Chain A
Amino acid sequence: MTPPARKPAPSPPLWRQAFDAAERAVAPRAEDLVRSEYFALATALVRRAQTVAGESVQGLSARVWHLVNLPAGSDITRLRTQIGSLDREVRRLTLQLESERRRASTTPPAPTTSTTTEDSDADRAQPADGARPRPARRRAQRPARP
């Protein structure tokens, strides 16, 4: 028994066919344009011009505000940047501290033995070669399974 023939999908309306034809003609050209070196250079240039213009206006308005002893937008931006830097430093330190704490808590404590006075003194001694205990390291990345 042969399966029933699938009903063909209805063709799109005429206006859509016209749009698709126009899109097929325009899209590759538009994509070539935005992927060209000239477009990249022009975008960068326009952006640079905008930045220069923005900075000039900002500098002028900052001078006006400073004349009347008030902080300008650029001062606030500078403060926000400084707060951001400080916040990042604190966050990184907190994360590193947490990580060290976790590592310390997962490291097994040194075995305790009955000690004599001589042993107690020896416990505090440093090895002659200057070697110090290293923080515990995790085991290496697991190699591929056979």
Chain B
Amino acid sequence: MLDRVRRDVERNALRARNGIKLVAGVDRPGVGQTPKDVVWQRGRTQLWHYRNDPETYAGVRYGPPLLIVFSLISKSYILDLTPGNSFVEQLLKAGFDVYLLDWGEPDERDAENRLEDYADDYIPAGIDRILELSGADEVNLFGYCFGGNLALLYAAHHPDAPLRSLTVLATPVDFRHMGPLADIFSVGGMDVRSVLGSDGNVPPSVVVQGFRSLTPTAEVTRYVTLWERLWNDEYVASYQAMTGWSDDHVPFPGAAAQETADMLVRNNGMLTDRLTVGGDPVHLADIQVPFLTVRANRDHIVPPDATSPLIDLVGSPDKHELCLDAGHMGLVVGRTAAKTTVPTIIDFVRRRSDALPDDAQEA
């Protein structure tokens, strides 16, 4: 009994300390800390090259380079959350040369951006720059969430693209199962123009509200769990990093949002093969490169039913699917990611890559 009282007193003292830290916003965990260089930039879009110094990441190197295409509505640091809990760091440790296309923070100059801007201009330009820098003649392409949709549109519209492989993670293709986020456009008939901000983009607050509506009680549960475990420093650090990211969205370019609502949501274009990019019809069946789709069976943002048809839509003879017992973010951060997702992706890409000779590694 006395032990329990002593433990409760200690925990309450820790709760008070951590509570003050949370409210004051001090001692926040550093996110996106893996050293990187901006190697190309156009508008708000940047191509990052993560440093893979031999002193830090020893061992066999693999090529061609790996390019990550990120989603248009959230910030890319989820893939490099904190040291030791970073998807990018694991790829670097596995010997890959990692690049990431970050879309930055769109403003009124991006309001007219359509999906073709990303699939036909930015991704090809980023790949060209990587080929120029690395001397390789191909890349392994990787798309996360909506970035996977962009990567699919690019690969389908450019059958001659210099791709060694394509991996997509939590990428929806059947938008009928996307829940309230899609229903308000398809069933409710809401016009994207009615949610545009003064800069012509969908404001981040609307995106956050949309995600919150998927699990209406989660917000309350989140605070209750925080109160219960506020004494635990490790939990508080992880809470700050994760909730910081899930509340930290970027504006969705207006024209791209309109196109997404029309083509992907209302027409369900990926599933019904009614996709156009820059006026050209494109077909996922034209994708012929080795392909891996990774999906999570506890994903409440992109439910399994929205991702499962993808494997049958892609034309690649060498295609694989990995279904994990994880949530949307659990695919790239946390224990499941470190133990299962990332090693499986690394294994898939490694089998389709070449071990680089020592002189190339030194270069």
Instruction: State whether B160 touches A99 (Cβ < 8 A).
Output: no
| Residue B128 at the chain A interface, CB threshold 8 Å | yes
| Residue B205 at the chain A interface, CB threshold 8 Å | no
Note all chain B residues with C-beta closer than 8 A to A44.
184, 188-190
**Shortest CB distance A76–B (Å):** 8
A42–B288 CA distance with the chains assembled, in angstroms: 43
| Residue B199 at the chain A interface, CB threshold 8 Å | yes
Per-residue CB proximity of B267-300 to A under 8 Å, as 1/0? 0000000000000000000011110000000000
Among B111, B128, B199, B215, which residue has its beta carbon within 8 angstroms of that of A99? B128
Query: In the complex, which range does the number of interface residues on chain A fall in?
Result: 35 or more
Among A50, A73, A137, which residue has its beta carbon within 8 angstroms of that of B160? A137
Note all chain B residues with C-beta closer than 8 A to A137.
160
Instruction: State whether B161 touches A138 (Cβ < 8 A).
Output: yes
Note all chain A residues with C-beta closer than 8 A to B108.
80-81, 83-84
Would A88 and B164 be within 8 Å (CB), given that A23-B221, A47-B190, A145-B352 are in contact?
A: no
Note all chain B residues with C-beta closer than 8 A to A12.
228
Note all chain B residues with C-beta closer than 8 A to A92.
117, 121
Note all chain B residues with C-beta closer than 8 A to A37.
183, 187
**Shortest CB distance A31–B (Å):** 7
A125–B287 CA distance with the chains assembled, in angstroms: 40
In the complex, which residues 113-146 of chain A have their Cβ closer than 8 Å to any Cβ of chain B? 137-145
| Residue B105 at the chain A interface, CB threshold 8 Å | no
9 residue pairs, one from A and one from B, having the closest CB atoms? A144-B318, A44-B188, A40-B188, A44-B190, A40-B183, A87-B109, A30-B216, A80-B108, A40-B187
**Chain B residues at the A interface, C-beta cutoff of 8 Å:** 42-43, 108-113, 117, 121-122, 124-125, 128, 132, 138, 155, 159-164, 179-180, 183-184, 186-191, 193-195, 198-200, 213-217, 220-221, 224, 228, 287-290, 316-318, 352
